[in-house]
């Protein structure tokens, strides 16, 4: 009796295997960040599975460290990934991987900050050491801060110390001879608690420049069987269902937020504190408005100029136009035959119209 049941189970399993294998499978990679942690919740709560089933596909949600997630995306090991607009430009786009941003999730609104001690300001930073992770949004923020304080010509006189984010907080807090640091939350919160440290500039002063996106490889979206489109739709649907839960009023919201915070071993108060300096685009309409606004182009140009000036688009890239961006209105910044990063509004629009 027992063995017959086992046989039956095995046959069912074998019968189900080819069925499962026929479903197109996709992987979305994310890393710990206040605006991306919802992916953890989407996978855990079954929201992602629900949407994947609706479109007849399989979606795997995989957590990475940030840099490896970008490398996996560039190496085409994963189909979608959460990253900032800057990395979307200087990692996949600059490496020739045509990339499409399907969701504009949020922008940093204070998450990134320039912190100093002893009352140091931008005016007396030149000649001093500055701890930061070089060639990231930290350096972008620092240079924007210098430029906005009329110190653009002095940028190269600040001695940058490339410091890994895993040790930057300890290094700055312990060594009081270092007077300035640029980093992001939750490290910013940690460092701010040190007496005598002031926040002299942060990303809320450059709103909408550091965008957090969900990007998909364009060749995946264009797969002839249409499965890539389904993947993008399912992903967008799951994303905005989760956003709805996060922004709802009522006691249930805290439970959702606590579950999301769990994704980075964080507590609910700490996660809420990080959310307060993140401008989440909870509704597809808000995201759509930002993505299609004229300021968006100006801001992307600022980011691209930074990437180009620092050689992040590749040493062999002679002109900024060689890595072109296509905006939702169809306009292209750069050479039209070298479009590498596309902002696609179709999915956010479908979500806002309830058509997913």
Partner 1 sequence: MSVLSISVRPNRMTCWVLSWFLFAAGICLYLYTAQKRHKENPDDRVVPTLAQLGAGIYQAAMNPDADEEPAADSAGQSALERFRNGMLWKDTVASARRFLYGLALLFPAVLLGLHMGIFPYFGVFFLRFILFFDKIIALSVLPILFIAFGIDELSKVMLIVIGVTPTIILDTFNLTKSVPPEQVVKGFTLGARDFDVAYRVVLKQIWPRVLNSIRLNLKPLMLFLFAGEMIASTDGLAYRIALLRRHMGMNIIIPYVLWVALLLFLVDLTMRLLNKRLHPWFREA
Q: Which residues contact partner 1 (rule: CB under 8 A)?
A: 67, 71, 74-75, 90-91, 94-97, 131, 134-136, 156-157, 159-164, 166-168, 170-171, 174-175, 177-178, 310-316, 340
Q: Which residues sit opposite 183 in a β-bridge? A: 113
Q: How far is the CB of 132 from partner 1 (least distance, A)?
A: 10
Nearer to partner 1, 95 or 120 (CB): 95
Q: Looking at beta carbons only, is 49 or 135 nearer to partner 1?
A: 135
Side-chain-side CA neighbours of residue 87 (13 Å): 21
Reply yes or no: is the peptide bond before residue 81 cis, omega within 30 of 0.
no
Least distance CB 140 / partner 1 (angstroms) = 12
Q: How far is the CB of 9 from partner 1 (least distance, A)?
A: 43
Closest distance to partner 1 from the beta carbon of 171 (Å): 5
Q: How far is CA 45 from CA 7, 26, 41, 235, in A?
A: 32, 18, 6, 14
Beta bridge partners of 60: 27
137 or 243: CB nearest partner 1? 137
**Residue (2 or 156) nearer to partner 1, CB:** 156
Task: Supply 63's token pair.
Answer: 């957590």
The C-alpha atoms of residue 310 and residue 136 are separated, in whole angstroms, by 10
Left, alpha or beta for 119 (phi > 0: left; psi -120 to 50: alpha)? left
* CB closer to partner 1 out of 87 and 333: 87
Q: Which residue is it, tokens 């930002």?
A: 290
- Least distance from C-beta 195 to partner 1, angstroms? 17
Pick between residue 50 and residue 135 the one whose CB is nearest to partner 1: 135
Q: How far is the CB of 96 from partner 1 (least distance, A)?
A: 3
Instruction: Between 89 and 211, name the residue whose CB sits nearer to partner 1.
Output: 89
CA pair distance 260, 125, nearest whole angstrom: 38
Cα–Cα distances in angstroms (integers) from residue 231 to residues 43, 103, 112, 192, in the given order: 15, 13, 32, 41
Residue 311: CB minimum distance to partner 1, A: 6
Structure tokens at 297: 């182009």
Handedness of CA 72, 75, 81, 86 (dihedral sign): positive
Tell me the closest approach of the beta carbon of residue 323 to partner 1, in angstroms.
Answer: 9
> Pairing relation of β-strands 278-280 and 112-117?
unpaired
Tokens 């905005």, residue located:
240
Nearer to partner 1, 186 or 237 (CB): 186
Say if residues 109 and 34 touch (Cβ distance below 8 Å). Answer: no
């Amino acid at each position: 009796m027992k063995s017959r049941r086992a046989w039956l189970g095995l046959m069912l399993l074998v019968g189900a295997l080819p069925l499962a294998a026929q479903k197109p499978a996709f992987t979305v990679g994310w890393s710990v960040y206040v605006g991306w942690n919802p992916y953890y919740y989407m996978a855990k709560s079954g929201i992602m599975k629900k949407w994947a089933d609706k479109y007849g596909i399989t979606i795997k949600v995989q957590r990475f460290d940030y840099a490896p997630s970008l490398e996996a995306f560039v190496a085409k090991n994963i189909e979608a990934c959460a990253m900032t607009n800057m990395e979307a430009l200087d990692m996949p786009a600059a490496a020739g991987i045509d990339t499409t941003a399907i969701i504009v999730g949020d922008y940093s609104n204070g998450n990134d900050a320039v912190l100093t001690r002893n009352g140091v300001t931008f005016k007396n930073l030149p000649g001093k050491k500055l701890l930061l992770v070089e060639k990231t949004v930290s350096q972008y923020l620092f240079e924007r801060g210098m430029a906005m304080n009329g110190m653009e010509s002095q940028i190269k006189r600040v001695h940058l110390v490339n410091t890994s984010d895993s040790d930057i907080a300890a290094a700055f807090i312990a060594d009081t001879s270092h007077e300035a640091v640029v980093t992001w939350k939750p490290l910013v919160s940690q460092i701010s608690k040190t007496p005598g440290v002031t926040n002299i500039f942060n990303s809320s002063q450059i709103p909408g420049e550091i965008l957090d996106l969900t990007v998909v490889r364009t060749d995946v979206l264009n797969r002839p069987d249409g499965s890539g489109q389904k993947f993008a739709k399912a992903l967008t649907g799951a994303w905005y269902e989760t956003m709805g839960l996060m922004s709802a009023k009522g006691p249930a919201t805290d439970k959702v937020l606590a579950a999301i915070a769990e994704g980075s071993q964080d507590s609910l108060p700490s996660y809420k504190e990080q959310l307060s300096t993140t401008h989440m685009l909870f509704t597809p309409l808000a995201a759509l408005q930002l993505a299609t606004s004229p300021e968006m182009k100006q801001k992307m140009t600022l980011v691209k100029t930074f990437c180009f000036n620092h050689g992040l688009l590749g040493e062999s890239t002679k002109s900024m136009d060689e890595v072109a961006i296509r905006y939702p209105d169809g306009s292209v910044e750069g050479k039209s035959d070298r479009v590498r990063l596309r902002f696609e509004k179709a999915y956010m629009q479908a979500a806002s119209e309830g058509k997913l």
